[in-house]
Chain A
Amino acid sequence: MTCKEFLALLDDMIDDSVTAEARAELDAHLGRCAHCEVIFNTTRKTIEIYRSHEIYELPATLRDRLHAAIMARCKKAC
């Protein structure tokens, strides 16, 4: 497997949607290619960081205000 072929399957590997056979080939490539190993690990980490850090928080007071406004508008639309 070449690095290009590895990269083409990177997403499926990250999302764990590869066949056992492909998985074995990907793992074998990872074992002997430091570059792809870095790309694989850091890409996975990128997703994990974005998933675990809420970068646009909705503060409780604003949330309550917006929620009340939404419900008031819906009741009017009844």
Chain B
Amino acid sequence: MPTIQSIAGELEPHPDVALIARVRGGDISAYDTLVRKYERQLFRIAQHITQNREDAEDVMQDAFLKAYEKLDQFQGNSKFYTWLVRIAVNESLMRLRKRRTGKMVSIDEDIETEEGSVPRDLADWAPDPEQNYNQAELGEILRKTIQGLPQGFRIVFVLRDVEGLSTEETAETLGLSIPAVKSRLLRARLQLRERLSRYFHRTKAVKNTGVGK
């Protein structure tokens, strides 16, 4: 019988492995610990994909319930967190499809764009450019900017750069090849950089223009 094994190459088993064994043994308090550990990340990821707070709340709940019900199918050859993220990504995409009935939603959307693959804005940024804005302004700039990315780039950037998954884990989670993840990541990074440049230029110490609506 295959059992949950420590991730190949790691000497110590991941702490989640013991928690999952306890859940399988009927100890629901161990699942409580796992939910606490990952609920914020799942909420963020769902919010990034659905761009809707209520959807993110539903996705987060449904994903944890689904993971609990399907725990027997978790093989332990990937990290529990990666497996959980994959469920949350799928739930988020399903939710989007429901909301935009008729419109196909997939992570392959809009990836043919060449926009931003060649850097155009070559002016340097101010040192610590985010200091020119207050927290609320900065939050709005960052949200608006990332929301403008094509879905397929945004998810890759969020998983890989914000949530810290490896390139391999991101590829596995999204069902993409490693070269596809790499090419999307580069373009996502360059497009974000390009779009943030207009706020962070050294020459424009814009304190009071606020964020354009």
Interface size on A, residues (CB 8 A): 33
| Chain A residues positioned under 8 Å from B57 (CB to CB) | 62, 66
| Chain A residues positioned under 8 Å from B189 (CB to CB) | 10-11, 14, 43, 46-47
B138 at interface by CB-CB < 8 Å = yes
Of B31, B40, B193, B200, the residue contacting A74 (CB under 8 A) is: B31
| Chain B residues positioned under 8 Å from A63 (CB to CB) | 39-40, 43
A1 at interface by CB-CB < 8 Å = no
Q: How far is the CA of A13 from the CA of B32 in the complex (A)?
A: 40
Binds A, one of B64-72, B77-85, B89-97, B98-106: B64-72
Decide if the interface of chain B is mainly helix, strand, loop or mixed. Answer: helix
Q: How far is the CA of A53 from the CA of B138 in the complex (A)?
A: 9
Category for how many chain B residues contact A: 35 or more
Mask for B50-75, Cβ within 8 A of A = 1, else 0? 00000011001100110011000000
B142 at interface by CB-CB < 8 Å = yes
Q: How far is the CA of A3 from the CA of B43 in the complex (A)?
A: 39
B186 touches A10 (CB 8 A): yes
Contact A50:B186 (CB < 8 A) given known A56-B47, A73-B61, A73-B65: no
Binds A, one of B1-9, B10-18, B117-125: B117-125
Smallest beta-carbon distance B39→chain A, Å:
6
A16 at interface by CB-CB < 8 Å = no
| Chain B residues positioned under 8 Å from A62 (CB to CB) | 57
A77 touches B142 (CB 8 A): no
Smallest beta-carbon distance B169→chain A, Å:
14
A71 touches B193 (CB 8 A): no
Of B44, B138, B157, B193, the residue contacting A42 (CB under 8 A) is: B193
A20 at interface by CB-CB < 8 Å = no
B122 touches A55 (CB 8 A): no
A70 touches B64 (CB 8 A): yes
Contact A77:B161 (CB < 8 A) given known A58-B40, A66-B60, A70-B61: no
Nearest 5 Cβ contacts at the A-B interface: A56-B47, A46-B193, A74-B68, A70-B64, A58-B43
List 5 A-B residue pairs with CB atoms under 8 Å apart, sorted by A's residue number: A11-B185, A11-B189, A58-B40, A71-B32, A77-B69
Additional 15 contacts, C-beta under 8 A, given A47-B161, A58-B44, A74-B65: A39-B193, A42-B196, A43-B193, A54-B44, A56-B43, A56-B44, A56-B47, A56-B143, A66-B61, A67-B35, A67-B36, A67-B39, A69-B61, A70-B35, A74-B28
